[in-house]
Amino acid sequence: MQAHSGGRFRRRSKALRRVTGLVGLVLALAVLGVGYSAFAPTGNSAAAGPVDAETIAHGKSLFDTSCISCHGANLEGVDGKGPSLIGAGQAAVYFQLATGRMPAKANGAQMPRAIPVFNQQDIDAIAAYVQSMGGGAQLPGSIDIANADLAKGAELYRLNCASCHNFTGKGGALSQGKYAPPLNQATNTEIYAAMLSGPENMPTFSDAQLTPTEKLDIIKYVRASNDTISPGGYDLGGFGPAPEGLIAFLVGMGVIVSITLWSGSRS
């Protein structure tokens, strides 16, 4: 009888330990989830407010007349013409339309910047319609760089952007006929939208990778690098020491050859 009771006790004790461990695991996961949601940055933390149905309807009418042939009636995309816009987000649509890259004039390795086809109101309407159909990254309600950190922006730009756009935002060539465009023509909103959407070969920078504050810091550096006048004269496009070194080499070699020829003629 005692052995039977001891076996039952051990089984109950083992089952109790299992239940206790399971409850502890659930509680730990719950605490971890709450902590992450409280401290992790979210992509929509600074997103603009909801858009009225009339604006979305206006955007749909514009989409149906100007975009549907390449992106499909339900934004699913058309093979050989245009990608799906489901999940592309308001920021991506704003960038493409505001910079005149869309509607595309012709297929190519990369769409160049052009004069926008739509006005600001129409751009906002089309972007709102695409956002309503599949969600995605949204621009914040306002982009103010007055209090942004220029020094921090310079550091972040050097780490994340300079390899393609050059240290002063002059742009540069990439592979297969593509290129990183110069940033002097881009507005603050366009730069922010590009960081959110990652157009062409550019990577996407979510708010988990670059916080909204850090994005503003980068924009402030871009503005400063484009607005600063070089006190030393012509800066050769801001391409760094390579052009200066080439000119020094050519001039120096010219002087050396001239001296050599002069010395030979004297002899």
In a 3-state reduction of DSSP, which class is residue 93? helix
187/193 Cα distance (integer angstroms): 10
DSSP 8-state class, residue 180: E
Q: What is the pLDDT of residue 66?
A: 93
Statement: residue 204 has pLDDT above 80? yes
Neighbours of 258 (CB within 10 A): 10
The mean pLDDT value for 156-175 works out to 90
Pick the residue with more confidence: 31 or 176?
176
207/220 Cα distance (integer angstroms): 17
184/189 Cα distance (integer angstroms): 13
In a 3-state reduction of DSSP, which class is residue 200? coil
The mean pLDDT value for 60-80 works out to 93
The mean pLDDT of the chain is 83
Statement: residue 107 has pLDDT above 70? yes
The mean pLDDT value for 151-162 works out to 95
Show Cβ contacts of residue 199 under 8 Å, excluding neighbours closer than 6 positions.
92, 95, 96, 101
Q: What is the pLDDT of residue 40?
A: 45
Q: What is the pLDDT of residue 159?
A: 95
- Domain of 126, CATH number, reads 1.10.760.10
Q: Hey, which residues does 211 pair with through a beta bridge?
A: none
Q: What single letter denotes the amino acid at residue 250?
A: L
**Is residue 78 located within the same domain as residue 119?**
yes
Neighbours of 165 (CB within 10 A): 21
Pick the residue with more confidence: 42 or 124?
124
The mean pLDDT value for 186-196 works out to 96
Q: Examine the fold and report which residue of 134, 167, 184 is the final residue of a domain before the chain moves on.
A: 134
**Is residue 118 located within the same domain as residue 156?**
no
41 pLDDT band (50/70/90 cuts)?
very low
Whether 233 is in a domain gets the answer no
Whether 209 is in a domain gets the answer yes
Q: Examine the fold and report which residue of 83, 102, 134 is the final residue of a domain before the chain moves on.
A: 134
The mean pLDDT value for 11-23 works out to 65
**Is residue 121 located within the same domain as residue 58?**
yes
Q: What is the pLDDT of residue 167?
A: 84
Number of domains in the chain: 3
The mean pLDDT value for 162-185 works out to 88
**Is residue 22 located within the same domain as residue 78?**
no
Cα Rg of the chain (Å, integer) = 29
Which residue range is the domain that position 4 belongs to? 1-40
Q: Specify the range with the lowest mean pLDDT, choosing from 151-165, 194-208, 215-229.
A: 215-229
Name the H helices within 198-240: 212-227
Whether 141 is in a domain gets the answer no
Statement: residue 43 has pLDDT above 50? no
